[in-house]
């Protein structure tokens, strides 16, 4: 979902612990990914943003395979960075995340071919005909998919196409191409990615059974009926401490999709808190995190969990929700929070 970390944060990040200094990672075995695999998941992963790649301590944790067996580029594969000018492709930012993950033996969830946000000005500053925009969409997916061919376990093909009431979001894609833009994106993705790559629809506020999640389920059912390629649904899981969905609610939402024959994943998990924080809030946050992870572990065909970064200073939350923050598993000093330990203990209980 909202993964942008402003460049204005760079001076702040540079002043935080570990920036540019080779310190040993404080996280030791077995690690969340090791425990998740023992509990039956395919991976426990994290998003990584490019703005913090020169922080040695951060990187030592992000690419610690025992902690995070899967990596998602939070920004580097989005349209504005991949195709900043029409038919001019730049894979630098995506490669900065993907290549070290490959070297570390981590899986990759790739994100995202099509979104209404973070689009380049050349695309949004003029009017296109339907035929022109379909051609632009196919060309973009073709080039990016071929560059990362067989390097991604899954691709988030379409991201956040629905409003909370279950209607389709008005944007350049819907307004110009019509509702068929979603199936076209999946067809193009299947045409140009490896046959092994899972194709996902990804969205937020679908972690309970509601108007939005039932609309996504209807899309999946229709795609399956018409043999439009779709392999999974990603539930972003951007939650708020104390008002997150319950274990039962998340489990019901997962079943809404898996009963249609697709796999699911928790793709962008974080739990933001109204500041100032407190011991009580951290305890509740730990419960909210654990409910989401446990629902995936217990659910049929929920393959894994990705946290939307693990370190508070690079969270997207404070900029987007002023007065809220502390959404991740590790604080500014790289100290594990109660949420980390409660998730770890829960995963370990399945061993």
Active-site residue set:
160, 268
Torsion of CA 305, 311, 314, 319, to 10 degrees: 80
Count of Cβ atoms closer than 10 Å to residue 297 Cβ: 18
Long-range contacts of the stretch 244-247 (C-beta < 8 A, 24+)? 244/271, 244/288, 244/291, 244/292, 245/207, 245/208, 245/291, 245/292, 246/291, 247/291, 247/294, 247/295
Tokens 């969409």 locate to 137
At 87 the three-state DSSP class reads coil
Q: Contact, 302 vs 254, CB < 8 A? A: yes
**Judging by beta carbons within 10 Å of its beta carbon (0-12, 13-18, 19+), is residue 65 exposed, middle or buried?**
middle
Q: Contact, 118 vs 75, CB < 8 A? A: yes
């Amino acid at each position: 979902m909202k993964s942008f970390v402003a460049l204005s944060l760079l001076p702040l990040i540079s002043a935080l612990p570990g920036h540019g200094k080779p310190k040993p990672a404080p996280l030791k075995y077995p690690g969340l990914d090791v425990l998740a695999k023992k509990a039956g998941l395919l991976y426990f992963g994290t998003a990584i943003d490019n703005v913090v790649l020169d922080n040695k301590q951060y990187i030592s944790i992000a690419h610690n395979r025992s902690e995070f067996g899967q990596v998602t580029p939070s920004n580097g594969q989005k349209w504005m960075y991949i195709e900043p000018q029409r038919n001019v492709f730049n894979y630098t930012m995506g490669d900065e995340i993907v290549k070290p993950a490959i070297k570390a033996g981590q899986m990759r969830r790739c994100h995202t071919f099509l979104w209404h946000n973070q689009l380049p000005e050349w695309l949004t500053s003029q009017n296109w005909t339907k035929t022109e925009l379909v051609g632009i969409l196919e060309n973009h997916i073709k080039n990016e998919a071929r560059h990362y061919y067989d390097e991604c376990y899954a691709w988030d093909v379409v991201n956040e196409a629905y409003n909370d009431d279950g209607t389709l979001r008005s944007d350049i894609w819907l307004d110009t191409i019509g509702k068929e833009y979603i199936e076209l994106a999946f067809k193009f993705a299947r045409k140009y990615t490896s046959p092994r790559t899972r194709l996902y629809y990804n969205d937020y506020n679908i972690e309970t059974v509601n108007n939005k999640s039932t609309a996504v389920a209807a899309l999946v059912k229709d795609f399956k009926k018409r043999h439009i390629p779709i392999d999974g649904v990603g539930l972003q899981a951007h939650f708020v401490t104390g008002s997150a969905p319950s274990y039962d609610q998340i489990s019901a939402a997962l079943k809404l999709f898996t009963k249609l024959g697709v796999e699911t994943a928790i793709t962008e998990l974080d739990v933001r808190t109204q500041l100032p924080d407190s011991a009580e809030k951290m305890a509740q946050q730990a419960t909210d995190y654990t409910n989401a992870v446990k629902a995936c572990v217990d659910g049929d065909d929920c393959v894994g969990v990705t946290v939307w970064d693990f370190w508070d200073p690079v969270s997207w939350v404070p900029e987007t929700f002023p007065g809220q923050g502390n959404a991740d598993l590790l604080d500014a000093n790289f100290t594990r929070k109660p949420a980390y330990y409660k998730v770890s203990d829960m995963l370990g209980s399945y061993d």
